[in-house]
Amino acid sequence: MLRAMRENTKWIFYILAVSFVGWLVFDVGMGITGRGSYGGADVVLKVNGDAIHLPQYQAALQAAYEQARRRSGLAALTREDEKQVQDEVVNQIIQSALLHQEYRRLGITVSDQEIIEAARTSPPPEVMRAPDFQTNGQFDITKWQRFLAAGTAPEFLAQLEARYREQIPEVKLAEYLTVDVYLSDAKLWRMYRDQHDSLKIALLAVRPQTIDDTLAPVSDAELQRYFATHQGDFKRPAVAFLSFLAQPRYPDAADTAAALTRVRRLRAEIAAGGAAKFAEVAKRESSDSVSGARGGDLGWIKRNQPGYDPRFLAGLRSVQPGQLSQPVLSTFGYHLIRVDAAKGDSIHARHILIPIALQGAHRDYVEARADTLERLAAERENGAVLDSAGARLHLPSGRAPKLVEGDRLTLGRYVIPDVSVWAFEAKVGETSPLIEGEAAYYVFRLDSLIPAGVPPLGYVRDQVRYAARLEKKKAVARQEAQQIAAALGNAPDLARAAAAHGWPPVVTLGPFTRTTPPPAIQREPLVVGTAFGLRVGERSGVLAGDGGYFLVASLWRKLADSAAWLAQRDRQRTELMDPVRQARMQAFLAGLRQQAKILDRRKELFRPQSVTAGT
């Protein structure tokens, strides 16, 4: 089992990403029996009869919130982020519950000795990346084992034990499920051929979209009949229509000057305090909380690292190892940059970020107006207050683009937090809480709501007519393709025959392999498969694809080299085994989920509270 953990660390830890949440719920809260000591009223989830109670759910959720905040570097999550985390936690809890039920069924357990050996020989990936356990940039297992033996971090070791107690049974289950996984030579050769057999074809396509509308008329009776039999095709998510007031909160010239003064003061403090001072100031002052917690350390980055602000990179390139930069202005604010080392096109850098934020009297003015906006218009049942508040504050009312449930609301280049959750919890006419966005403070009003489902025919008449006509065009296209095939007879040259008869033009495609078909037939597996089944000079009959009707002629073919395949066969097998095992495990988990009886009481327990009435 331990050897399996070492050999399969990459794919096993991919599968086991749920273990932290699972441990919180099942080890701390309930034990592996899945039955807590709480009453039924606080049951949040039931999975095949095993109950997850409110305290365990909240513990897992708070831990996941904290992880999400650390990843984002933000102190607070938006409502959209919270909902995403909640759904992820529920999915992870359900998966952990199903796994624990399988352990009981199969008699899978874990001993203390197995945990000790796993910790010593198969450390988690994040441990292997930690600088404290590396020598010359490589993980040094002797450092890790000395750390374990010293026992100087009992809280961490307890968490590590719980993690292995959760993961080792999962590894045993994975071994049980994949013991028969093996890729035969025949399958490897077939996969190699799919990637290396190549050919050229001539293709004649009759696509329904090219048929003239006059050849496929749609009567009102046909329109209604099509809509009645295809309603599922027109099902839509809910759509909200919103108005809003926005109190801008852009920094002005005085705010920019204040940020520059602050960053210059910090630079002077660092320059007077030496190299160690940079890390101290970064931890205390940097708004980049992720690198700030590491003393501003960005690690090794390229001089033209993708994803970084161009002005920041320009400032970075101007600094020599050991130097401290002057203030560097980027989209995010002012930076102080220090380069620790440089090698080739890579730089080991640190930075301190000081954002350009509202300051002093300007901040007080904006926040006072935001407070007034909140007092006059936020969280009201009578949405007319939005208009009166706008008149009093001289703020124009805006119309948001239609908001589809599940999407996030974007105004200009800014994504507005929270509103895309609130809009589908509120009643028409209500106003939102005051929402703090990057560019403004907002209060929204829900003007109207189209519920999820199939809209009346009148709302989607054009779409239904288009779909019904396309269905009739498919029949016309099929008939045309069959007539072309009959007229071709034994004509040797498809392209010449098409040109002579005025048929749709023939295109030459290739060379291409089975796994890399050209765009014209990427979504046509029948066409690709048939093409590779033809001998050079052969022509297919009419092929009915998703995008039309096709005739294919084989022009040229090159077969894969079996000697080249044999030379790389062992490497190919090794590279393919992990995904195969991973797919087996994922399919097993999906099967458990599909058959499980799951009760989710979150909506019942956590109903949103009604807004405050007002005038």
Single out the residue in 427, 450, 473 at which a domain terminates: 450
Distance CA 162, CA 20 (A): 9
Q: What percent of the chain has pLDDT over 70?
A: 91
β 198-206/297-302 pair status: unpaired
Beta strands, E only, 451-594: 506-512, 543-545, 548-558
8-state DSSP, 29: I
30 and 160 inside one domain: yes
More confident residue, 396 or 610: 396
Residue position matching structure tokens 């002629």: 553
Contact in structure between 10 and 574 (CB atoms under 8 Å):
no
Q: How many separate domains does the chain show?
A: 4
Average pLDDT of the chain, as a whole number: 88
Q: Which residues pair with 338 in a beta bridge?
A: 324, 350
Last residue of a domain, one of 322, 354, 386: 354
Q: How far is CA 45 from CA 34, 168, 294, in A?
A: 11, 25, 39
The Cα–Cα gap between 372 and 378 comes to 10
Q: Which pLDDT does position 178 carry in this prediction?
A: 83
Neighbours of 275 (CB within 10 A): 12
Residue 191 belongs to some domain of the structure? no
Of all helices (H) and strands (E), which one includes residue 4?
A: helix 2-7
Half-sphere exposure of 307 (CA within 13 A, CB side): 2
Q: Domain check: are 345 and 380 in the same one? A: no
545 in any annotated domain: yes
Question: In 287-359, which residue ranges form alpha helices assigned H by DSSP?
Answer: 289-292, 310-317
Query: H/E element holding 403?
Result: strand 403-404
Residues 142 and 269 reside in one and the same domain: no
308 shares its domain with 441: no
Is position 40 within any domain?
yes
Q: Are 55 and 29 in contact (CB under 8 A)?
A: yes
Q: What is the pLDDT of residue 170?
A: 87
**Is residue 570 a part of any domain in this protein?**
no
Return phi, psi of residue 314, to 5°: -60, -45
What is the per-residue pLDDT for 12?
39
DSSP assignment string, 159-210? HHHHHHHHHHHHHHHHHHHHTT----HHHHHHHHHHHH-EEEEEEEEE-GGG
Question: Tens digit of pLDDT for each residue in 181-210?
Answer: 888 999 999 999 999 999 999 999 999 999
pLDDT > 90: percent of the chain: 66
Please tell me the pTM assigned to this model. Answer: 0.58
CB 311 within 8 A of CB 330: yes
Q: Which helix (H) or strand (E) holds 44?
A: strand 43-47
Q: Is the pLDDT higher at 30 or at 85?
A: 85
527 lies in a domain?
Answer: yes
Note whether 362 and 247 are within 8 A (CB). Answer: no
pLDDT digits (tens, 9 = 90+) for 30-59: 433 344 444 578 899 999 999 999 999 999
* Count of residues making up the chain: 615
Is residue 419 within 8 Å of residue 440, measured between CB atoms? no
Higher pLDDT, 460 or 18: 460
Task: List Cβ neighbours of 76 (8 Å cut-off, separation of 6 or more).
Answer: 69
Same domain, 262 and 318: yes
Residue 151 region, left (φ>0) first, then alpha (ψ -120 to 50), else beta? Answer: left
- At 22, is the pLDDT very low, low, confident or very high (cuts 50, 70, 90)? very low
pLDDT at 607: 67
Domain finish residue from 421, 450, 479: 450
- Note the helical H segments in 179-327: 185-196, 220-229, 253-273, 275-285, 289-292, 310-317
* Domain contains 566: no
Q: Are residues 168 and 38 in the same domain?
A: yes
The answer to whether 165 and 115 are in contact (CB under 8 A) is yes
What pLDDT shows up at residue 75? 61
SS3 readout for 418-484: CHHHHCCCCCCCCECCCEECCCEEEEEEEEEEECCECCCHHHCHHHHHHHHHHHHHHHHHHHHHHHH
CA–CA distances in Å: residue 388 to residues 370, 373, 446: 15, 10, 16
d(CA 523, CA 546): 7
Q: Is residue 386 part of a domain?
A: yes
Rounded average pLDDT over 497-504: 92
Q: What is the CATH number of the domain that holds 216?
A: 3.10.50
CA distance 392 to 375: 12
Residue bearing the bigger pLDDT, 481 or 178: 481
pLDDT at 16: 40
| CB contact at 8 A, 22 and 93 | yes
Cα–Cα distance between 586 and 15 in angstroms, integer?
8
- In this structure, of 130-139, 334-343, 477-486, the range with the lowest mean pLDDT score is 130-139
Q: Are residues 148 and 261 in the same domain?
A: no
20 and 147 housed in the same domain: yes
Tell me whether residue 268 is exposed, middle or buried, using C-beta atoms within 10 angstroms of its C-beta: 0 to 12, 13 to 18, 19 or more: exposed
For 543-558, letters b (16+ CB in 10 Å) and e give bebeebbbbbbbbebe
Residue type, 511: P
Provide the 8-state DSSP code for 26: I
* More confident position, 468 or 344: 468
The arithmetic mean of pLDDT across residues 457-473, rounded, is 95
Residue 578 is predicted with a pLDDT of 79
Domain that holds residue 264: 253-354
Q: Encode pLDDT of 255-296 as tens digits.
A: 999 999 999 999 999 998 877 789 999 999 998 877 888 899
Residue 47 lies in a domain: yes
Residue 2 clears pLDDT 80, i.e. is over it: no
Domain match, 114 and 220 both: no
DSSP 3-state of 549: strand
Do 80 and 229 reside in the same domain of the chain? no
Do 507 and 531 share a domain, yes or no? yes
- Determine the residue type at 105: R
Indicate if 272 and 208 belong to the same structural domain: no
